[in-house]
Structure 1
């Protein structure tokens, strides 16, 4: 009879299952969490060290950087006189196109500098080429597309299909591509331009962070985009002047005259203040949002207070018993409510330009148009090969089917 054999003991002990819940798992988890925490702390320390080194390097080369930016802004500035002699586009059309670009810029959530760069590309192109009314919006879309590709986030760059939809399919896909190429060729592929936002960041770096001041300055600078007076104004001058006006409205202390931000232009500040009374409704709604500090409402309150002070100062002395101040009466002084100037019609023809391609196809969907003027142009630039539609110029359509296309259509 076989003797009784005890069960073989496993070297790790008895196990009823392959899935064992060990009491040591908690220790391993704690150690893993400690290692992850140490790695995060090391990353933060490295980031802080990198920012400190970048700040030291920036301070060392700050003067050279500013000098280069000021040189580049003079090389990439639009010429208002060349735009003024355009034969078809008029200054009163500019607010409609800018409203469209502001809404498209907000719809795609692009960076602030993208809008300023797009308007600069638009104005530089209009300084060198004759632009038809029917192509004005197309040039604006091409400028916005180029600016977004140049400096914005890749996932936010609008597509041609999206821009076509926002334009109510007024232009074909190929027309966006051709116009984008033609803008780049006209500008010799020089896209970089120090924007108002770039100079604003330099000015704000000299003091403590104040988001309300930054939003107010951007609001004033974007108002300036709508007006002829600032087309040829240097972005550095406009940034410092808008910042000074923003601080005045918000009752913030001004920068010292020894600082870069303190060297603002008083005349530019005065001109900016005169254009605050009737801003674009699209721009006003944009900056009425809370995440932009509701600065448009702040400006409205400031202007109302200034109007009340002006009325009290101009009111003749009357007996106290009969003195009545009409607080709710709006200002009717035209000097307090400047409008964007409209260019008078004249026969001036650009001496150094050529027709803007591509030619919009003729069809009935574009509505009833203006009577286009024949352009007696002697081009210096080589003409882009496009079909000759000179015989159908009397049927050309206005540049806008609507005042602007809402971004909500997208």
Structure 2
């Protein structure tokens, strides 16, 4: 590249960055002027886009243990395409809402995920960041033909009645972090929000509750380095307190390798290492506790008893419907074939 061409290229980049800065300031000004109306609309949309977890349980082929495989694939694809954080959360919401309304076969699960990511990218990201159909096919290792992505996109949109808009977790997180814009706090809270995507327990919480809980846990992880969570404020709602309790339990388990690798980079303040250090210290503190002393006397409950007799006696006393005894353990189903990972 000649010096003249290099100068022209630098001038274009400088102009583009200035335009982005002007656009960002205008958006912030508009959001500040209409923040009350925006907050009210977000609450309405939050309730309008809620999903039915019970309907997802009725899927004949899909099991909950398949979910981490798909989300790992989406996290890697989302990172490689350099999409916005809200695109990932919106894509997962579209997948869950679709699966709560339509039967999805196991062989089409990844196809639904790609179609949802494609729709979310078109809705949230810049045009030059939206993947092409060819890129989607390569991401799936040619498991699907190009026209299948277009067909599935149309099917998802028609099933959801073109109701794509959804206030994602990161939207509420940005509102909470307006006054404390510390990168490490923002990245750690975002990391916790993405961890919540992998677990069924969080699907019943609205995004605003998950964002508030992630912010509380992230604050304690960064400010209280003793390995002990402090109590949540009494003013906190029961839903947020419950969500905080769940997050504090799930972060003690190894997270997704894709997610851990993503948040171990300096771009995200290496918050995965902060969480890993907390887990190690928590395990050490638990192992340092004295062992539980043996019981001083024998248990009043007999070691062996007739379970059916106990159940029948309880039934006679309460005059209620008796619960049938547990059936013997059946053979485990065939192992789920993992989804193809990006090439």
Structure 1 residue 294 and structure 2 residue 262: aligned?
no
SS at match of 1:130: coil
Per-residue CA shift, 1:123-170, capped at 9, x if unaligned?
Answer: 000000001000000000000000000110111111111111111111
Contact conserved, 2:74 with 2:113, CA < 8 A, in 1? yes
Q: Report deviation, 1:56.
A: 6.2
The 3 A distance-change label for structure 1 pair 47 and 184 is closer
Q: How does 1:361-380 map to 2 (within 5 A)?
A: none
Q: Report deviation, 1:232.
A: 2.6
2:86 counterpart residue number: 113
1:304 counterpart residue number: 280
Question: Which one of 124, 138, 153 corresponds to residue 151 of structure 1?
Answer: 124
1:225 counterpart residue number: 197
Per-residue CA shift, 1:266-287, capped at 9, x if unaligned?
Answer: 1101101211122111111111
Q: Report deviation, 1:311.
A: 2.4
Question: Which one of 242, 248, 251 corresponds to residue 273 of structure 1?
Answer: 248
Scaled by the length of structure 1, what TM-score is found?
A: 0.63
2:35 counterpart residue number: 62
Structure 1 unpaired stretches of 5+: 1-39, 318-369, 372-397
Counterparts of 1:80 and 1:156, CA distance in 2: 32
SS at match of 1:191: coil
Contact conserved, 1:134 with 1:399, CA < 8 A, in 2? no
SS at match of 2:121: helix
The 3 A distance-change label for structure 1 pair 257 and 70 is farther
Higher CA-based Rg: 1
Per-residue CA shift, 1:250-293, capped at 9, x if unaligned?
Answer: 11799x9799xx76711101101211122111111111101111
Q: How does 1:134-173 map to 2 (within 5 A)?
A: 134-173=107-146
Structure scoring higher RCO (CA < 8 A, sep ≥ 6) equals 1
Q: Report deviation, 1:230.
A: 1.2
SS at match of 2:163: coil
Q: How does 1:308-323 map to 2 (within 5 A)?
A: 308-315=284-291
Q: How does 1:5-404 map to 2 (within 5 A)?
A: 51=25, 58-205=31-178, 207-251=179-223, 265-276=240-251, 277-315=253-291, 402-404=338-340
Structure 2 unpaired stretches of 5+: 1-14, 294-332
CA RMSD of aligned residues (A): 3.0
The 3 A distance-change label for structure 1 pair 244 and 179 is same
Counterparts of 2:29 and 2:224, CA distance in 1: 28
Counterparts of 1:198 and 1:316, CA distance in 2: 46
The 3 A distance-change label for structure 1 pair 184 and 267 is same
Contact conserved, 1:110 with 1:156, CA < 8 A, in 2? yes
The 3 A distance-change label for structure 1 pair 175 and 57 is closer
Point out 4+ residue stretches in structure 1 off by more than 6 angstroms.
256-259
Counterparts of 1:95 and 1:57, CA distance in 2: 38
